[in-house]
Amino acid sequence: MADPWSLYNDKVVEHFKNPRNVGEMEDPDGVGRVGDPVCGDVMELYIKVKDGIVVDAKFKTFGCAAAIATSSMVTEMVKGKRVEEALKISNKAVVEALDGLPPAKVHCSVLAEDALKAAIENYLNNSPSPL
Amino acid sequence: MRRIYLDHAATTPTRPEVVKAMLPYFTDAFGNASSIYSYGQEARGAVEEARTKVAELIGARSEEVIFTSGGTEADNYALKGVAYANERKGNHIITTSIEHRAVLEVCKFLEGRGFKITYLPVDEYGLVDPDDVKRAITGKTILISIMHANNEVGTIEPVEEIGEIAREAGVYFHTDAVQTVGHIPVNVDELKVDLLTISAHKFYGPKGVGALYVRKGTSLVSLMHGGGQEKKCRAGTENVPAIVGLGRAMQLAGPEMSKEAERQAYLRDKLIKGLLEKIDHIRLNGHLTRRLPNNVNLCVDFVEGESLLLSLDSEGICASTGSACGMASPEPSHVLLALGVPPEKAHGSLRFTLGRENTEADVERVLEVLPGIVARLRAMSPLLKTQK
């Protein structure tokens, strides 16, 4: 019925079991919500920006282990990055940082990239003097 | 860590008694059942003895049992075999929207080749309405194929009533009994079926072997052409050890069945009751009483099934889900959708199927572990907040 999770490597499983940066954020500077519960995954990503640098990131995710692990990883990757650098984080980079995902699960990493982009766009739209 | 296997609808461990019965047919009694010398005759005797054991448990005559490579082949044979043998009489087949893929995919294949298929709906408990079957029959209907019990939600279909309708209409009736044979009583005359699918590995027999019951006089064409084995119905050298294993598993199941079903139903109900008490926002799928004794299927709101499975697995508990993340199609279980379960809830479905080796302690362990897993996943789910 489900995809064999045995194909997940140790790093993915570790991020699934102990996800970093879980939770909502009070007064975020940007919020991105992507996905659809009907399709089985929804990701919400919150960022805090100070002087053009992403100083904090948090997430909430409904989805499979790959969706949760990529959420965890993308929030780790974005912290400390300048906003313009953060926009360049690709799903491929997230997958590589997790040492790979099963082919059928790569689409979950697209969700992570999309959530991050949505959060940054939300920040840029709200910010009086972006970047 | 102690592992708790709760996925018996997927497969079961082969019983040691079954393995023991099979072993001689790999080595000492290795003969080809078609050979006339003693090695061959030993093998032939074993195959026919197994055929008798299979026939006995389902109330059939041994010559009505054809060995196959498993449930999928038996389903393929029943549907394609009847369809192509009767295409001059008609091209209409009636089935349901909750059949196993071994039936649904064959129906799709036949649809592409000029056959017309009616996929009957089911109610919210997974039950087919026999009146729907009656209304769907036309002058062109050649076959009705409706499963005995559903593999995902465990609903037991009103096969006897449908059999009566099929018989009155003079239409062949096939049932996929993969989830019931060896677990609850199955009698081909009481069920009024013409064809019935059996799979050994679902009741502690080996994988790779099954059988199709074919009522005498049923016309169907062979799918396998070759050496004329199985009375020219299914060519290919008989898989003697596997067939012996199937026979032995059937023989063992018979006397133990009712007591074991009662025991599993008790554990099933304890698990259902416990989970409904300990976890909020969960719902039982399937029928409350017309239910396989070993089946528990629930939707856990706000979380996704694979995450549940992986979390359970790290506690040593093996279960199953109707979620589809990462599968070829993004659609969750066709069975749950047919029951009217919304897709976002179907993604959070969880199935436990009990077996012989499970104990009350196993059920208690699930009850101890699952609430925490659900709470952890819900804490990171963005859906719970929006539902508040």
Summarised one tens digit per residue, pLDDT across range B106-117 is 999 999 999 999
In a domain, A12, yes or no: no
- Domain layout of chain B by residue ranges: 4-10+257-387, 16-253
For B133, residues 6+ apart whose C-beta sits below 8 A from its C-beta are: B94, B120, B144, B146, B162, B165, B166
Q: Is the ipTM of this complex over 0.85?
A: yes
pLDDT of residue A2: 40
CATH number of B16-253: 3.40.640.10
Which has the closest alpha carbon to B189: B217, B212, B159, B209? B159
Per the structure, the count of domains in chain A is: 1
Helices (H) and strands (E) in chain B — how many of each? Answer: 13, 12
- Which amino acid makes up residue B86? N
Q: Write down the residue that tokens 């005498």 correspond to.
A: B216
Size of the A and B interface in Cβ pairs below 8 Å: 105
In a domain, A49, yes or no: yes
CB of B128 closer than 8 Å to CB of B162? yes
Q: Measured between alpha carbons, how far is B112 from B299 in angstroms, rounded to an integer? A: 35
SS3 category, A53: strand
pLDDT tens figures, B260-289: 999 999 999 999 999 999 999 999 999 999
In a domain, A14, yes or no: no
Closest Cα in chain A, distance from residue B179 (Å): 16
Which has the closest alpha carbon to B299: B279, B317, B313? B279
Q: Which of A108, A111, A115, A120 is catalytic?
A: A108
Four-way CATH pick for B4-10+257-387: 3.40.50.620, 3.30.70.100, 3.30.750.24, 3.90.1150.10: 3.90.1150.10
Q: Which residues in chain B are contacts of A33 at CB distance < 8 A?
A: 382
CB–CB contact B330 A40 (8 Å): yes
Catalytic, A64? Answer no
Please state, rounded to an integer, the average pLDDT across all residues of chain A.
90
Q: Measured between alpha carbons, how far is B177 from B202 in angstroms, rounded to an integer? A: 10
CB of B131 closer than 8 Å to CB of B161? no
Q: Determine the structural domain holding residue A71 and report its residue range.
A: 19-125
Average pLDDT over residues B300-305: 94
CB–CB contact A66 B326 (8 Å): yes
A87: CATH: 3.90.1010.10
pLDDT at position B67 over 90:
yes
Q: Which residue of A has its CA nearest to B382?
A: A60
Q: Which residues in chain B are contacts of A59 at CB distance < 8 A?
A: 380
Q: Touching check for A131 and chain B: CB below 8 Å?
A: no
In a domain, A3, yes or no: no
DSSP string for B148-183:
SB-TTT-BBP-HHHHHHHHHHHT-EEEEE-TTTTTT
pLDDT of residue B388: 45
Return the H-helix or E-strand segment holding B355: none
Task: Report the predicted TM-score, pTM, of the whole model to 2 decimal places.
Answer: 0.93
In a domain, A111, yes or no: yes
pLDDT of residue B386: 54
- Phi, psi for residue B67 in degrees, rounded to 5: -80, 140
pLDDT of residue B325: 61
Q: Touching check for A111 and chain B: CB below 8 Å?
A: no
